[in-house]
Structure 1
Amino acid sequence: MLRQFRLFHLGWIIILAGALLAHFIQTSGGITIRDLRFNGTNGEVMSGLLYVPPGVTSENKAPAILAVHGYFNSRETQDGFAIEFARRGYVVLALDQKGHGYSDAPAFANGFGGPAGLAYLRTLDIVDVNNIGLEGHSMGGWTVLAAAAAMPDAYKAVVLEGSSTGAPFAKEGDTSWPRNLAVVFSKFDEFSEVMWGVPTAQEVPVSPKLQTVFGVTEPVVAGQVYGDIAAGTGRMLTQPNTTHPGDHFSNEAIGDAITWFDQTLEGAKPLPVDDQIWIWKEIGTLIALVGFVVLLAGTFEMLLSTQAFARLRREPAGTAHDSRSAKWWIAFALSAFVPVITYYPFFYWATVVFPASALLPQTFTSQIALWAVLNGLIVLATGFVLRGNKVEGRGDILGSVLIALATVGIGYLAVCAVDFLFKVDFRFWVLALKPFDLVRAKIALVYLVPFTVFFVLALRGLHTGLSVRGDNRITQYLSNIAALTLGFVVFLGFQYLTLLFTGHLFSMNEPLNTVIGMQFLPLLAVVAFLSTFAWRRTGSYLPGAFINALFVTWYIVSSQAIQFPVS
């Protein structure tokens, strides 16, 4: 019995180690973090994390920064910026935009929630209201610009990370608005056309739109201060060596924001710009995320050893192929590359077939769901054409559902416990797992249906269609992970090599979906690991399919924006 508990205990140990590391980094030096809810425009509920440096009181006020994430992210995505700002003595409000995280839907409404966030920050008696900065990444830049437009005298400086002034989502900038503006636009940012109207990020210095903001007709010189900071007309462009999502994971990009606020705000504690520790928080939450996956596997194995689920345990009954023949390689190639080939067109179809509505209020989740179901049907059809040996792998449906609910339920309790005790989620970069709020829990019940269909069809095809006689454990895991991820490895590698050598993605008109595709790699690798783990112990594809349907639905719905009001 003790052997069946080893992974379960190991998962908890890894989670605790990662959560403690993340907690001690984000509270380094006595910083406290408060989980906030406050009323915004028309009584809407807004959410944020408030970072308060030590010694800050109503008698000892501190400068403050409103920090806002981009589209499809949440307040925790800004933790690199927030930690470093707070270490330097700033009170930081890391805001959930409207329709993101725990802020009320819909997204895009009421200035993305920016005016409400700035107004709330100014009500705090610990804040020096004469020294407030605004920092936003991507759509978060438009959020803080909305705040700056609504309250033109309520802030002193702005940092736009991978963002821009102007149509269609922000007021046009000029030499006097916004006040003291730093544009941090990375050399390999995928959104140069959208933001500044130039084909590549390296051409941003000659963007007419940017030159208007800086009041020049020649190329803007990166690192040079334009205008007059004392008069509020200061301007500076910097171009870190990273990509659009890389801004969150760049000492250089975070350092540029620190440098600008050091020059434009008063009252902060001087620290060298290269004195940054935020990466250790990311490492901590990554460790916790790995521990979560181990915990799911360990919980499943532990449950199989109980009397209630012992009947599910059996060896896989045969394999689909005696060796890796030409037929196997064709099936493998289709499994790996068809999902990538269909990625852009199926996503587009979803926007036409399933626009945001009260039933399907998350545009991107609907896109993934349609892509998934259609690819599941392709897998089913492929199985009829490229049949191998007959493998019976269905197993006990009810037992599979119950063990999946119990397994993911334990994992969910772990995420909630870490959130409650340490105020961290399980994440690495933009890959994040966090507890539901009530609205997203109801949304998840709807999206669970198509994702369950997909995983039943896809994992049936994986385990009864690609299994090979004689494969050892490691070969089986690696083969299945490759079958689900290799296409995205090639796809993203090609896109970003093109970006590196040409300055733009190969699919120039698809920067958002390309960036989002990064998450598919680790997510599908976890799916393959968990499903293979369950298959090897039950000889059924159903437990792994139901576990992954619950896990992936939770992951996607909890992290996506809500574009339509949901009661």
Structure 2
Amino acid sequence: MEKTKHKRSAAFWLCIALVLCLISCIGASLLQTDFGNVQIIKFKIPTDNGKWLSGNLFRPVSATAENKVPIVITSHGYLNNNQMQDISAIELSRRGIAVIAMDAYFHGDSSSTQYSYEDSGVIEGMGMIPLVEYAYSQLDWVDNTKIGVMGHSMGGSNTWNTARHYGRLYMQALEDAQAPGSDGGETITEEEQAYADSVNKVAAAFPTSSVRNTTDEVMAEIHCNFGTNFGFYDEGAYRCVNGDGDLHDAPEALAIVNSILPESEKLTDTIEIGKMYGDPANDTLRVVYNPHEIHPWQHFSTESAGYTVDFFTTAFQMENPIPSSNQYWLWKELFNCIGLVGAALLIVPLATLLLKVPCFASLAGEEPKKLPALTTAKSKAFFWGSWCLSWIVSWLSFIPIGKLDQYIFPSVTARGTSNWFPQPTTNFILLWAVFNGIVGLALFWLSYKFVGSKNGVVPSEMWGIKISLKDFFKTLALAICVFIGFYATVMFSQYFFQTDYRIWTLDIRAFTVDKLYVALQYWPLFFIFYLANSISINSSSRVEGQKEGFNLFICALGNSLGVIILNAIQYGTVFATGIPHWQEDWLRPLVIVPLIVQLFVAAYIGRYLFKRTGKVWLGAMVNTLIIVMMGVANTCTFLPL
């Protein structure tokens, strides 16, 4: 009777999960296409030397060869992908500006490049320059006098490099036109000016979260309408000349504005934040925005989205009836988040139903007995002490253990290519995870040796660890089936609706074959961590006398608390002082923010699957496969071309 009840309950919750995923797909698709007014095309364009660029093209359906529209090429930041620029793409395209949201080289579904990471940025804008050329020459519905570029963080650097590239071409053309042997001699003819204008293919540039190294010399190479948006609390602001993110008196901001002012009018002390200097009609528009935001919030902000709209509609001299405060993107993100919830809800009922399939039926089992109640002061102290120690070690070890990546993975940490362990972010998280997995297993053994063995703990009846080799591989096969079912919904949403499941920096993205090759390298080592985690939650933390809901909550909280405290220290310091606690390593706490949710949910998945099988293994395997692939599919991959 109990098994039949579980099956019916599983079928019900699986239906709920799938309905949520479908609602997510439909809602997000309607909003990002402006209810049919924007066409989204997933593209893959070959470039030089066997490379390719991928991304999404947002085309207003009104755009034709007879009704040309402006276009903006936008680039995500380091360790991200094109979907992180959905906000700009949605808000610009619904206002009649087409958008190419690109995957930079080494990211998303784009290829690697023959250049180093740094050289690629300078030479090809990580793919932005080829896409400007593509939009200029291949899209007959684009007004190629109104091509804009923008990007966040690394994408901001790509924007700078692209604007400077075309600015240098423009200056070189004018210099050649003034040569004595040119058509007009030292006088620039109309034809020579027209040619110079034609090679300067960028009309507007808007880097965000990227102002470092902005000087008068750099701005002298910019010959287009130009603005920037930099967070007041940006974690990387300590690298600015003034050492903080306040741009009102920053030399970087002064250089931007002064680049179009005559010598007698140049500013010496401060600029007015948000003021539009210059004239967009002659490509001298300059503006600096400085919202009170942290680095990753700039691509999840209504204020910053409004600045993007204001800049490009002004730069392209568009009279748009939709005010910049009228925004759809947040509702679209909420629908994406519904998909996240649906995908998470899908895992346990799918596994439960698969346990009814004959080939997996033998894996179903009863939940083992709980550990004896905490009746003595010693047992209580050891239980809570172990719980505290687990997240304290997690918190304190993250930076020092993660920094060992420079010795264990030196090439990839230095942003060089490698066929093995080619993801710098995944590498330092891996080192931290393996270390904490080993510590967790050690704590488990010590807990049993000094407390459990003397207080009635019977491993064979309470742990759920022992498993035959045959059942181990059957469990692995079941976990793979759950993984396939989970990602089938993601592939479905991508293929039919051009959406996925996400909120801010937490996302589940469809992956390509190369990411599967990469994940295969990471899965075995991450399994150490998730197995230790499953043992901790199910074999040493389930005790008599604690309500199941409370026990499971403290297990989930213990999973995430180390990461929470790490980021609380980092961002508490940022908001208090304007600079991060960890400066040179400021990216490391930022990129593990999704782990707060992932590890919290992993505890619930691990416990529920433990109840269905009586073993720690299925939950550990499912969490390993899914959470690792979520990370692998969403970060930078330095595979050789």
Shorter chain as denominator, the TM-score bin is over 0.9
Alignment pair present for 1:351 and 2:406: yes
Structure 1 consecutive aligned stretches of length 4 or more whose deviation exceeds 4 Å: none
Is contact 2:313-2:319 (8 Å) kept?
yes
**Other structure's SS at 2:127 match:** helix
CA distance in structure 1 between the partners assigned to 2:217 and 2:512 by the alignment:
36
CA distance in structure 2 between the partners assigned to 1:467 and 1:493 by the alignment:
29
**Other structure's SS at 2:633 match:** helix
Match of 1:75 in 2: 82
- In structure 2, what residue type is equivalent to 1:118? V
Correspondence for 1:327 among 377, 382, 400: 382
Instruction: Report matched runs for 1:43-122 at 5 Å.
Output: 43-106=50-113, 107-108=117-118, 109=120, 110-122=124-136
- In structure 1, what residue type is equivalent to 2:463? E
CA distance in structure 2 between the partners assigned to 1:534 and 1:63 by the alignment:
52
CA deviations on 1:107-159 (whole Å, 9 max, x unpaired) are 55243111112112222111100011111111001112222233331111111
RMSD: 2.0
Match of 2:234 in 1: 189
Is contact 1:115-1:148 (8 Å) kept?
no
Aligned residues: 562
Is contact 1:31-1:54 (8 Å) kept?
yes
Is contact 1:62-1:267 (8 Å) kept?
no
Structure 1 length as normaliser, TM-score?
Answer: 0.95
Larger Rg: 2
User: Structure 1 511/57 Cα, relative in aligned 2: closer, same or farther at 3 Å?
Assistant: same
Match of 1:378 in 2: 439
Instruction: Report matched runs for 1:79-478 at 5 Å.
Output: 79-106=86-113, 107-108=117-118, 109=120, 110-122=124-136, 123-152=138-167, 153-164=200-211, 166=213, 173-174=218-219, 177=222, 179-194=224-239, 196-202=240-246, 204-215=247-258, 216-267=267-318, 269-320=320-371, 322-323=373-374, 325-355=380-410, 356=412, 357-387=418-448, 388=452, 389=457, 390=459, 391-394=462-465, 395=467, 396-478=471-553
CA distance in structure 2 between the partners assigned to 1:298 and 1:171 by the alignment:
61
**Other structure's SS at 2:202 match:** coil
CA distance in structure 2 between the partners assigned to 1:351 and 1:176 by the alignment:
36
Is contact 2:216-2:255 (8 Å) kept?
no
Correspondence for 1:27 among 21, 24, 33: 33
CA distance in structure 1 between the partners assigned to 2:527 and 2:515 by the alignment:
17
Name whichever of 252-261 and 310-319 sits farther off: 310-319
Is contact 2:402-2:428 (8 Å) kept?
yes
Is contact 2:238-2:579 (8 Å) kept?
no
CA distance in structure 1 between the partners assigned to 2:97 and 2:319 by the alignment:
6
Match of 2:179 in 1: none
- In structure 1, what residue type is equivalent to 2:420? L
User: Structure 1 385/3 Cα, relative in aligned 2: closer, same or farther at 3 Å?
Assistant: closer
CA distance in structure 2 between the partners assigned to 1:412 and 1:78 by the alignment:
22
Query: What is the Cα deviation at residue 88 of structure 1?
Result: 0.4
| Overall identity of the aligned pairs, in % | 27
User: Structure 1 163/553 Cα, relative in aligned 2: closer, same or farther at 3 Å?
Assistant: same
Is contact 1:190-1:505 (8 Å) kept?
yes
Match of 1:2 in 2: 8
User: Structure 1 473/311 Cα, relative in aligned 2: closer, same or farther at 3 Å?
Assistant: farther
**Other structure's SS at 2:282 match:** coil
- In structure 2, what residue type is equivalent to 1:193? Y
CA distance in structure 2 between the partners assigned to 1:540 and 1:217 by the alignment:
69
Query: What is the Cα deviation at residue 175 of structure 1?
Result: 5.1
Is contact 1:321-1:328 (8 Å) kept?
no
Query: What is the Cα deviation at residue 10 of structure 1?
Result: 1.2
- In structure 2, what residue type is equivalent to 1:265? F
Alignment pair present for 1:11 and 2:17: yes
**Other structure's SS at 2:219 match:** coil
- In structure 2, what residue type is equivalent to 1:528? A
List runs of 5+ in structure 1 lacking aligned partners.
Answer: none
Structure 2 length as normaliser, TM-score?
Answer: 0.84
- In structure 2, what residue type is equivalent to 1:459? S
CA distance in structure 2 between the partners assigned to 1:80 and 1:325 by the alignment:
49
- In structure 1, what residue type is equivalent to 2:399? Y
CA distance in structure 2 between the partners assigned to 1:397 and 1:417 by the alignment:
30
Is contact 2:72-2:150 (8 Å) kept?
yes
CA distance in structure 2 between the partners assigned to 1:267 and 1:210 by the alignment:
26
Is contact 1:177-1:233 (8 Å) kept?
no
CA distance in structure 2 between the partners assigned to 1:514 and 1:172 by the alignment:
34
CA deviations on 1:154-173 (whole Å, 9 max, x unpaired) are 11111111112638xx9963
User: Structure 1 518/178 Cα, relative in aligned 2: closer, same or farther at 3 Å?
Assistant: farther
CA distance in structure 1 between the partners assigned to 2:12 and 2:634 by the alignment:
31
Match of 2:183 in 1: none
Match of 1:38 in 2: 45
- In structure 2, what residue type is equivalent to 1:198? N
Name whichever of 461-470 and 370-379 sits farther off: 461-470
- In structure 2, what residue type is equivalent to 1:19? C
- In structure 1, what residue type is equivalent to 2:630? Y
**Other structure's SS at 2:421 match:** coil
CA deviations on 1:512-555 (whole Å, 9 max, x unpaired) are 11211211111111211211111122221100010011102211
User: Structure 1 54/432 Cα, relative in aligned 2: closer, same or farther at 3 Å?
Assistant: same
- In structure 2, what residue type is equivalent to 1:120? Y
- In structure 1, what residue type is equivalent to 2:30? F
- In structure 2, what residue type is equivalent to 1:213? I
CA distance in structure 2 between the partners assigned to 1:242 and 1:117 by the alignment:
30
- In structure 2, what residue type is equivalent to 1:154? K
Is contact 1:41-1:116 (8 Å) kept?
no
- In structure 2, what residue type is equivalent to 1:297? V
**Other structure's SS at 1:325 match:** helix
- In structure 2, what residue type is equivalent to 1:435? A
CA deviations on 1:458-488 (whole Å, 9 max, x unpaired) are 3223321222213333223212211101222
CA distance in structure 1 between the partners assigned to 2:314 and 2:9 by the alignment:
59
Is contact 1:72-1:559 (8 Å) kept?
yes
List runs of 5+ in structure 2 lacking aligned partners.
Answer: 1-6, 168-199, 259-266, 413-417
Is contact 1:11-1:298 (8 Å) kept?
no
CA deviations on 1:268-302 (whole Å, 9 max, x unpaired) are 64311101010011001110011011111210111
CA deviations on 1:311-349 (whole Å, 9 max, x unpaired) are 222233233452270100111012222112111111110
**Other structure's SS at 1:160 match:** strand
CA deviations on 1:157-201 (whole Å, 9 max, x unpaired) are 11111112638xx9963256252221111222111124x333321
Is contact 1:63-1:267 (8 Å) kept?
no
Name whichever of 366-375 and 275-284 sits farther off: 366-375
Is contact 1:63-1:268 (8 Å) kept?
no
CA distance in structure 1 between the partners assigned to 2:243 and 2:544 by the alignment:
51
